[in-house]
């Protein structure tokens, strides 16, 4: 889908939504493209937020500052609850999230899902940089969806973009980008659960690489059946 068409569609959808809009910024190139779209949309009430899991790469912190400066915005951080983290760390230590799917889901719930619930409270719509081609867990993705789990409209303007489209756009507008991409990372997540990938490997191969592909979601983008 062309840049122009995606942008127009996003504008049309947003013109029909009242209330506060949220963009989740997770240090991926896709999020920066969507932020660039939104910077031209003149939205009355937009919150750009990130889920600060406490396990982010230093490169993400660097991009956080660069992005705020470039777009002249402030990216709000939602942190996990202190007590939950203390309990979690007692139970799992530094690496226990790799021991089982149950442990990993518990960690993702405390560090990501619960803070996301707070971030989406009182918002009318949630915009993401998800693409259908990213993984088998996302192949049914649509541009406009209703997220039953969080009870909110979810807009995915890049649903039908390819990876090449994203990086061409970043280059065209000289937008800030996470330096992890130049180190072989193709999808950005928490430090203990993300690695660089080899040439030809799937973009999500570096996320939770010890798990089966159908499990590779953190609970933020799972559809209720």
Binding of residue 56 to ligand SF4 (CB under 6 A): no
Cβ nearer to ligand SF4, comparing 36 with 138? 138
Cβ nearer to ligand SF4, comparing 111 with 131? 111
Asked whether 126 and 22 are in contact (CB, 8 A), the reply is: yes
Site size toward ligand SF4, by CB under 6 A: 13
Indicate if 190 belongs to the active site: no
Give phi and psi for 201, each to the nearest 5: -75, 150
Q: Which residues pair with 48 in a beta bridge?
A: 23
Task: Name the one residue in this structure whose structure tokens are 């226990």.
Answer: 96
Cβ nearer to ligand SF4, comparing 108 with 119? 108
Binding of residue 218 to ligand SF4 (CB under 6 A): yes
Cβ nearer to ligand SF4, comparing 111 with 123? 111
**Of 138, 159, 153, nearest in space to 213 by CA:** 138
Residues 6+ apart with CB under 8 A from 69: none
Count of positions (residues) in the chain: 225
CB of 87 to ligand SF4, least distance (A): 14
- Residue 181, token pair as written in the block: 């991409």
Question: Which residue in 104, 154, 186, 216 binds ligand SF4 (CB under 6 A)?
Answer: 104
Q: Which stretch binds ligand SF4 (CB under 6 A): 21-29, 108-116, 120-128, 132-140?
A: 108-116
CB of 151 to ligand SF4, least distance (A): 22
What is the number of the residue whose Cβ is closest to ligand SF4?
A: 190
- Give the footprint of ligand SF4 on residues 110-139 (CB under 6 A): 111-112
- Give the footprint of ligand SF4 on residues 165-194 (CB under 6 A): 189-190, 192-193
Question: Which residue in 26, 50, 53, 187 binds ligand SF4 (CB under 6 A)?
Answer: 53
Q: Which stretch binds ligand SF4 (CB under 6 A): 15-23, 57-65, 100-108, 144-152?
A: 100-108
**Of 158, 98, 129, 175, nearest in space to 26 by CA:** 129
Active-site residue list: 218
Q: Which residues bind ligand SF4 (CB under 6 A)?
A: 53, 55, 97, 104, 107-108, 111-112, 189-190, 192-193, 218
């Amino acid at each position: 889908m062309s840049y122009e068409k995606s942008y127009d569609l996003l504008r049309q959808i947003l013109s029909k939504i009242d209330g506060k809009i949220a963009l989740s910024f997770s240090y991926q190139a896709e999020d920066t493209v969507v932020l660039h779209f939104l910077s031209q949309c003149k939205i009355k009430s937009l919150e750009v937020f990130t889920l600060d899991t406490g396990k982010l790469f230093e490169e993400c912190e660097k991009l956080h500052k660069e992005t705020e400066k470039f777009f002249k915005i402030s990216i709000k951080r939602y942190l996990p609850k202190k007590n939950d983290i203390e309990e979690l760390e007692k139970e799992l230590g530094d690496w226990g999230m790799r021991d089982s799917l149950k442990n990993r889901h518990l960690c993702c719930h405390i560090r990501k899902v619960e803070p996301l619930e707070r971030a989406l409270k009182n918002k009318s719509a949630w915009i993401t940089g998800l693409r259908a081609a990213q993984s088998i867990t996302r192949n049914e993705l649509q541009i406009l969806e209703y997220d039953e789990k969080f009870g909110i409209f979810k807009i995915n303007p890049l649903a039908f973009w390819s990876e090449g489209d994203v990086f061409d756009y970043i280059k065209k507008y000289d937008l800030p980008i996470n330096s992890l991409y130049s180190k072989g990372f193709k999808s950005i997540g928490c430090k203990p659960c993300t690695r660089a990938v080899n040439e030809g490997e799937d973009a999500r191969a570096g996320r939770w690489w010890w798990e089966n592909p159908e499990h590779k979601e953190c609970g933020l983008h799972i559809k209720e059946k």
